[in-house]
Amino acid sequence: MSNCVLFTVLLIKVSVSVLKKYKDVEGVVKMEEVNGEELVKRFAEEMEEMLGRKMKSVKVSIHSFEYYNSMLINTVDENGNPLPLGGEFLLEPNEHFNKLPVNTQQSNIQVPTNVYNRDPDILNGVYMSEALNDVFIENFQKDPTLTWQYFGSSTGFFRLYPGIQWIPDENGVSTFDCRNRNWYIQAATSPKDVVIVVDVSGSMKGLRLTIAKHTINTILDTLGENDFVNIIAYSDYVRYVEPCFKGTLVQADLDNREHFKLLIDGIHVKGEGKVKNAMKESFRILNEVCQGSLCNQAIMLITDGAMEDFQDVFEEFNWPERRVRVFTYLIGREMTFAENVKWIACNNKGYYTHISTLADVQENVMEYLHVLSRPMVINHDHDIIWTEAYMDSVAQSLLLMTSVAMPVFSKKKETLSHGILLGVVGTDVALKELMRLAPRYKLGVHGYAFLITNNGYILSHPDLRPLYKEGKKLKPKPNYNSVDLSEAEWEDTEEKLRTAMVKGDTGTLSLDVRTSVDKGRRVLFLKNDYFYTVINETPFSLGIVLTRGYGQYIFIGNVSVEDGLHDLLAPDLTIASEWTYCETDIDPAHRKLSQRQAVVQYLTGKEPDLKCDVQLLEQTLFDAVVTAPMEAYWTALMLNTSGIDEGIETAFLGTRSGLMRFQSLFLSLHRSFLTSTDKENMFTLDHFPVWYRRAAEYPAGQFLYYMPRQDIRGTVEEIPLLSKHTHSQNTLFPLFPAMFSRLTNERLPEVQHHESMCVCLCVYYLRVSLFDYQAMCKMHSHSVSNARPLLSVRTSWPLSFSLSASAHKKKGDILQPCDTEYPSFVYEPSVKETNSIIKCGRCQKMFVVQQIPESNLLMLVVQADCDCSRQHCDRMRSQKIRRRPESCHAYHPQENADDCGGASFISLSASIFFMCLTFSALFS
């Protein structure tokens, strides 16, 4: 008996067994139509409630003293004595904190290596902020879903709860500076429009130019997606470092910042420095700008001297209102022009600093943030901010997070006009935990939820791919948190969905979409209904997608707990480990429970306090009962293997509740696709399995073969998978039993390879174009890729490698973000043989497809050597619709602008610091 015939016989028996059991419980089954508008509203309210708890946790202030330096704890000197500021600090691995060793009873302090950890300002601040420890602990007890809580001081220290051992880098230093983090900068200042003006005259050569470049890069690092920027270089004449951005401001997102850094690295010095025209051009940009933050405006002048008569420029463009602040950075050890450079800053409500070495850059650049924070401090406006997505840098876990933070100021009347910022308090929120509030089973096989920011960037989306592989190591893409919604929902060609969500609207939209599965190899044509709304008190908007068909209805059955529990404990059964059947993260005692263990503990009454999703449990128990005959059937097959071809390895079945039944039909199974690393074939937080998603769109009662991708080099090894789904009296109850067979390279014809050709085997499919706006491309001139880069701002932009890191790499080894068009394929049995040309910019490449006799396979040969990279200035300059933050603090009449650098800095005494951080005073 052939494999195909045997597959059919076995699966028909499977269907009959399941349907017979279904008939027994059909009387308690009902169908409910999913109300997308009600669903997105409820999800948004639950997310608002969860995020609201995080906001409450940062609305704390600061008042016993043990200063634990996180880099020195649990270390000793050569005599075995604890290091100063170190000492014994209990650390225990904690599941909630990514299994990192932490101390949940104590916070501790991190100080950057370039900041003296015994500086009086550091010691005073650490002493006065010690009372935060009790607040952090109390917050965690009230809301066990909280992760990292912290206070970043304007003096540079970072108090973190729970306490950890801070690991230095390979050079033994700690470069982390809380004041550089986005949460600190966004909370400390309102959005800003910045023009950086850099002197590239002949006198700026050597070390001065190196310092100037580092200063520019550091300023760029203080900008975020709510800010706008441009850079002008001047000597005898004025030029934009990016000519494409002439006369405008561009959003300071990660892509644009890294693009500027690349261009700055290539600037050279020549000629005489004439700053006047450069300042005029800068004012013109800021005065005429129609796009930007439209809040704070600043010019950053980086020079080794200013010798011209520049007063008339300020009289013409900036006085008397002084709407644009001017910050000046005097580069080099020479002080001849210090008074001129300082005069510019002091007469334009800015700040002057002298940067003589590379080590001076960080501290001096940060001063401008304190100046911009003055109006907000004087107003006593404790604006709460939420950041875009970022990777967890504390635990180094590659988890996407967002932070909520707010500023802490001095409220002492004597210093009020100086607007003294003490620091920023905040906490992190794991986006994965937030998205658990939109459970998969309510959204259907192709449904999903997603979050975006006010700028249209993705916080969470099942098609967001923030990581890439470099060798065997996973790394964040350089642009991972600036992926626009239009780059994931690319069928929204008119950007109606994006525009509505960015504006914070509530509504619905329908789209015909092509969506890819199996890592882009296959395409599905779907009709999606989008439902979206804003999450109040945040800059975020939530969207959910329901697909016509399976996404329109939910199947609800009811069986007794006793019957369901009996079948739930079967050895061949698992439930989705990433789904939340029961909340195991609230009580620390539950964190080691698997989801199935938690469900059993709850249903048996052993853990009645567990918070569980009752509707999901009902569905899971029902599915366990209905699919119970599978275990006995598969066991009988194992006991009687004489009738089974050895090519059949595995049988499995899945349901919408995340339940899977899985049986290896041979103990000597070579490979199981159900491994923890093979997420494409499991129920995950983002997707139903590939085989489930594909089978759901296949005609009812028919069989589907598909070949999962294998990461095995040197062999041609495929696993045809046969799947079937069952419609029972239009109840849309999807069951997908399937069997495995393996075709090894011994069963396939010999394939010859050539360095300019790519050869593969495939089934009959019609070519369909798909797009990937999150691709990574190599930078060399002869790309061996069958993906065609589109006209894109990213096509020519490299990764944000540091110079030291990239210096050891060949140019051809460096990857860069790019946009690509690539082919996917829809089943098309009429194709026998064809060849054609793929056009690619100014080049082209050929492909040939031919049927393999007596099989359902085709051989595809593609010419591989084709460079397709191109730039496009119009795309680079384009600005998408965005929603500006509601608050802006750019001006206050009481501001004392006399503190403008040099020796005029006003320090804060310990007694004032203590009074400013009292609980009752801060939020009264």
Look at residue 233 in the predicted model and tell me its pLDDT. 98
Strands 467-470 and 473-476: antiparallel
Q: How far apart are CA 788 and CA 666, in angstroms?
A: 44
Average pLDDT over residues 27-51: 90
The answer to whether the CB of 242 falls within 8 A of the CB of 264 is no
Picking from 166, 13, 23, 171, the residue whose alpha carbon sits closest to that of residue 805 is 171
- Judged by DSSP in three states, 530 sits in strand
List Cβ neighbours of 356 (8 Å cut-off, separation of 6 or more): 211, 331, 332, 333
- What percent of the chain is modeled with pLDDT above 90? 41
Q: How far apart are CA 682 and CA 625, in angstroms?
A: 21
Indicate the pLDDT class of residue 275, thresholds 50, 70 and 90: very high
Class of domain 432-554: alpha beta
Look at residue 46 in the predicted model and tell me its pLDDT. 93
Identify the weakest region by mean pLDDT among 6-10, 45-49, 371-375, 681-685: 6-10
Please list the residue range(s) of the chain that carry CATH number 3.40.50.410.
189-378
Picking from 311, 363, 304, the residue whose alpha carbon sits closest to that of residue 329 is 304
Look at residue 125 in the predicted model and tell me its pLDDT. 86
Higher pLDDT, residue 11 or 465: 465
Q: How far apart are CA 318 and CA 63, in angstroms?
A: 43
Average pLDDT over residues 848-877: 62
Identify the weakest region by mean pLDDT among 82-91, 346-355, 885-894: 82-91
Q: Length of the chain, please?
A: 924
* CA distances (Å), origin 489, targets 225, 245, 516, 545: 20, 27, 12, 11
List Cβ neighbours of 474 (8 Å cut-off, separation of 6 or more): 398, 467, 468
Look at residue 172 in the predicted model and tell me its pLDDT. 80
Residue type, 164: I
Q: Which CATH number fits domain 189-378: 3.30.950.10, 3.60.10.10, 3.30.300.30, 3.40.50.410?
A: 3.40.50.410
Per-residue pLDDT tens digits for 115-154: 887 888 888 888 888 888 999 999 998 888 888 999 999 9
- Judged by DSSP in three states, 863 sits in strand
By the 10 Å C-beta count (0-12 exposed, 13-18 middle, 19+ buried), 748 is classed as: middle
- What percent of the chain is modeled with pLDDT above 70? 74
Identify the weakest region by mean pLDDT among 205-214, 471-480, 508-517, 730-739: 730-739
Identify the weakest region by mean pLDDT among 37-46, 138-147, 351-360, 723-732: 723-732
Identify the weakest region by mean pLDDT among 225-234, 255-264, 305-314, 674-683: 674-683
Higher pLDDT, residue 106 or 667: 106
Main-chain phi, psi angles of 461, to 5 degrees: -165, 140
HSE at residue 582, side-chain half, CA atoms within 13 A, is: 25
Residue position matching structure tokens 């853990």: 607
Longest dimension (CA), the chain: 98
> Is pLDDT at 16 greater than 90 in this prediction?
no
Look at residue 734 in the predicted model and tell me its pLDDT. 41
Average pLDDT over residues 694-704: 75
Residue position matching structure tokens 């017979």: 20
Higher pLDDT, residue 680 or 371: 371
Please list the residue range(s) of the chain that carry CATH number 3.30.450.
432-554
Look at residue 209 in the predicted model and tell me its pLDDT. 97
Per-residue pLDDT tens digits for 172-203: 888 889 998 999 999 999 999 999 999 999 99
Per-residue pLDDT tens digits for 741-789: 333 333 334 444 444 455 555 565 567 777 778 888 776 544 333 443 4
**76-80, 162-166, 365-369, 450-454 — most confident range:** 450-454
Q: How far apart are CA 228 and CA 294, in angstroms?
A: 9
Look at residue 646 in the predicted model and tell me its pLDDT. 59
Q: How far apart are CA 670 and CA 682, in angstroms?
A: 19
Look at residue 918 in the predicted model and tell me its pLDDT. 38
Look at residue 673 in the predicted model and tell me its pLDDT. 52
The answer to whether the CB of 229 falls within 8 A of the CB of 297 is no
DSSP class of residue 725 equals: -
Look at residue 351 in the predicted model and tell me its pLDDT. 97
Look at residue 447 in the predicted model and tell me its pLDDT. 94
Residue position matching structure tokens 């041979």: 666
In sequence order, the β-bridge partners of residue 575 are 659
Higher pLDDT, residue 864 or 209: 209
Look at residue 904 in the predicted model and tell me its pLDDT. 44
Q: How far apart are CA 585 and CA 147, in angstroms?
A: 11
Indicate the pLDDT class of residue 391, thresholds 50, 70 and 90: confident
Average pLDDT over residues 473-500: 91
pTM of the full structure: 0.80
Look at residue 227 in the predicted model and tell me its pLDDT. 95
Identify the weakest region by mean pLDDT among 348-352, 357-361, 552-556, 888-892: 552-556
Indicate the pLDDT class of residue 909, thresholds 50, 70 and 90: very low
Q: DSSP H helical segments within 26-119, as ranges? A: 36-58
Higher pLDDT, residue 165 or 413: 165
Identify the weakest region by mean pLDDT among 23-32, 286-295, 438-447: 23-32
**CA distance between the termini of the chain:** 82
Per-residue pLDDT tens digits for 809-849: 444 457 777 777 777 666 565 656 666 666 554 456 667 77
DSSP class of residue 103 equals: B
State the average pLDDT for the chain: 79
Crossing angle of helices 629-639 and 3-25, rounded to 10°? 150
Look at residue 663 in the predicted model and tell me its pLDDT. 79
List Cβ neighbours of 593 (8 Å cut-off, separation of 6 or more): 584, 601
